[in-house]
Amino acid sequence: MPDHSKRNDLSAFDREALDFHSRPTPGKLALQPTKPMATQRDLSLAYSPGVAVPVKEIAANPDTAYDYTSKGNMVAVISNGTAILGLGDLGAMASKPVMEGKSVLFKRFADIDAFDVEVEYTDPDKFVDCVAGFGDSFGGINLEDIKSPECFEIEQRLRERLDIPVFHDDQHGTAIIAAAGLLNACELTGKKLKDLNVVLVGAGAAGLSVIELLQSMGVDKDKTIVVDIDGVVYEGREGLYPRLATQAVKTKLRTLDEVVKGADCLIGLSAAGVIKPDMVKSMAKNPIIFAMANPEPEIRPEVVKEVRPDAIMATGRSDFPNQVNNVLGFPYIFRGALDVRARTINEEMKIACAQALAKLAREDVPDEVAAAYGKGRMKFGPDYIIPTPFDPRLISHIPPCVARAAVDSGVARIEARDDENYRQSLARRADPTAALQQRVSASIRADQKTIVFAEGEAPSVIRAAHAFQNQGLGKAILVARENIAKENMRELGLPEDSLEIWNARLSDHNYDYAQYLYKRLQRKGYLKRDVQRMVNTNRNVFSACMVKMGQADGMVTGVTRHTNVVMDDIRLVLDPVPGGRIVGVNAAISRGRTLLIGDVLETEFPKSDELADIAIEMAATARRFGLTPRVAFLSYSSFGNPPGERTEKMSGAVRILDERGVDFEYEGEMAADIALDPDHHELYPFSRLSEPANVLVMPAVHSASIATRLLKAAGAATVIGPILVGLEKSVQVARLGAKVSDIVNLAGLAAYDPSRAAL
């Protein structure tokens, strides 16, 4: 593996990005078989002679490839690298990391297997011939990062030659999301599409596609003016390529300043600073401004708010309200298209996608979604006209509308499935907590909490603290001796002044911490000098005091000490929340399923009442992470068979929850396979779980720990945790020797604080 740590020409973020793409395995994609390959029989079915049977079927009817191969769930992400992410023409191979990234998004958000293909040809004829030669191997093609105007010709010609969806996301993805936002902006302002005076600044692929889609939805072409780098696109202007020429209007106006006066809607897909405050002032009442240039919009929202508080604003950035993000569109429009084996993606399907997104934003936002973003109550209004990218409802709301539009417009090979059954199958494809860390990150970026890293001399902790702060997740403080921490930072190639360092012995707060701790422990056998020594030398105690006394919002530790030692240190300083219980929860994330498993830290052999408390704490944590909790009390026994003393503790916990009248599903005692079996009602029709359990309460710490470590070691799940909940302040404890990514994840959870995230 390449070692980037000594490269002085790279920033810390650059090194982190290169490490991310190179370690532990180069790239972001891998192939995984869908059939067992464990026996000779498996081999004979998968290859010769068994493979000959579907070969003959497909030869007789090519459409059966959807039935016997992975074509129906496979998309090719194709580029020639002539317009990479705003970096320009860097060549086909340079575009590969971007295309891999796009493929990962297809899988993450819509469970579509996408593969990147980099084509060296920049000549449209050669490019089209190349892609047309292999295109039908896939269920659809996503074109990406191809320069304008060639991209228009390439897409159109491939659509004509291939019998599968061909979709240039740089054009249509932005157009669909912008159209959804505009529909809702009109809803809020009482304006109608047909009456809007629209100005587009930026006449690239995305800009023209936005205007064309809006016009197909009802915006009057005669009330639309396009402005490019050379000014207004007017009839008679020389040098206009054919697609741009179709937007030319008869007007004497020549500048953006002139055409924006009195406009209802201003759409920017150009460059930072192009839209000036005076332009915004001159617009019509309740102006709609979509400034979508990245990374810096044409005008910042705070500037617009200052000069026109009546404006509705959207940008392309996640740190401002109303992000126009393509990931809201392309995974779901392809999901719907693939599921009805569509021959193309037409205007009807794009409009259906935009309308479905607009409708979803107007619906009541579940508490779990709002809690996952940590933004309080999310409600349709000027700052919420577009759904958030990690809203788990997208997968079940958008594709059915796209699929129905494909069927109704005659481009589907098969009928759309029953809507409710289809929605349920879609929801199972992409588990809403599979992106737990992304949603946590989206929440904490806006809040910028301060997290103390207790073991601040350890190189892995220093790297994690720098990554946490450099990613904009919050402020990091190292507890360490300055000389050792800075020496290690130099060794890691990090700027010495990039992180704040607190030396416990020399801190200005040392006296206050010792006073607090002595008052707390003086009747528990501790002398004042004992307490002072702990504050001076025990970094966990000192860091916990920082959190307790308000110098930090959260804490992460555990990398260099065993968990039980760390927890003993923390309990010297901090208590459980009033009436609560400290619980350790592991999140085990696998394809299509996320399980919360506990207790993995605190109560070794919990009694029935303790198990009930653990279940309540875990159910609340599940909700804060966007899950609807379905709790199973696990045992070797299922509903009394075989009987035993330990099984009675689990069934006793169920009876206690019955008495308490909790507001979540729970059941037990039951074996793990029963709890996770979607058809367990066939054997146990009385079960109160409507779907498989996602919160597993274990009978003891050792069983919880063994279960999650087995899942992780076997590669069956990615395990995040233990997530510590129930303390009065936010603390997360990493496992001994944790990796940098694990430490960053736990620091994010400390900033998010699952014990007290708003519901």
The DSSP code sequence of 587-617 is EEEETTEEEEEE-SSS-SS--HHHHHHHHHH
Token pair of 719, please?
A: 């395990």
What order of strands is seen across the sheet that includes strand 554-557? 500-502, 474-479, 449-453, 554-557, 730-733
Measured CA to CA, the distance from residue 504 to residue 565 in angstroms comes to 19
Residues 6+ apart with CB under 8 A from 608: 648, 649, 650, 652, 653, 655, 656
Neighbours of 712 (CB within 10 A): 15
Which of 163, 164, 117 has the alpha carbon at shortest distance from 143?
117
Q: Which of 399, 391, 406 is nearest to 422 (CA)?
A: 399
Q: What is the DSSP annotation of 109-161?
A: HH--EEEEEE----SHHHHHHHHHHHGGGSSEEEE-S--TTHHHHHHHHHHHH
Residues 6+ apart with CB under 8 A from 654: 633, 666, 667, 668, 669
| Chain Cα centroid distance, residue 163 | 32
Q: Calculate ∠ Cα 234-185-263, nearest 5°.
A: 30
Longest dimension (CA), the chain: 92
Q: Which two tokens stand for residue 549?
A: 């006394």
CA distance 702 to 134: 53
Of the residues 28, 96, 102, 636, only one is catalytic, namely 102
Residue given tokens 């190179």 in the structure block = 22
Is the separation of the CB atoms in 251 and 225 below 8 Å?
yes
Question: Per this entry, what is the length of the chain?
Answer: 759
C-beta of residue 272 within 8 angstroms of C-beta of residue 298: yes
Pair 754, 723: CB distance under 8 Å? yes
Integer CA distances (angstroms), 116 to 87, 141, 655, in order: 19, 10, 54
Phi/psi for 286 (5° steps) reads 50, 60
Which pair of tokens denotes residue 331? 């995974």
As a whole number of angstroms, the distance between CA 433 and CA 108 comes to: 11
Exactly one of 28, 35, 47, 666 is catalytic; name it: 47
47 classed as catalytic? yes
CA separation for the pair 17, 687 (Å, rounded): 48
**Kind and range of the H or E run holding 367:** helix 367-373
105: CB partners within 8 A, 6+ apart:
327, 330, 331
Report CA torsion sign: 387, 438, 634, 682. positive
Identify the CA nearest to 725 among candidates 601, 558, 592: 601
Closest CA to 697 of 649, 632, 646, 652: 632
Would you state the structure tokens that stand for residue 686, as one six-digit string? 């009385």
Identify the CA nearest to 115 among candidates 88, 91, 142.
142
Q: Are 332 and 322 in contact (CB under 8 A)?
A: no
Locus of tokens 């200052």:
306
3-state secondary structure of 492: helix
Radius of gyration over every alpha carbon of the chain, rounded to an integer in angstroms: 29
Cβ-contact 191, 219 below 8 angstroms = no
Return d(Cα 430, Cα 391) in angstroms, integer. 11
Tokens of 354: 């935009």
DSSP 417: P
- The residues annotated as belonging to the active site are 47, 102
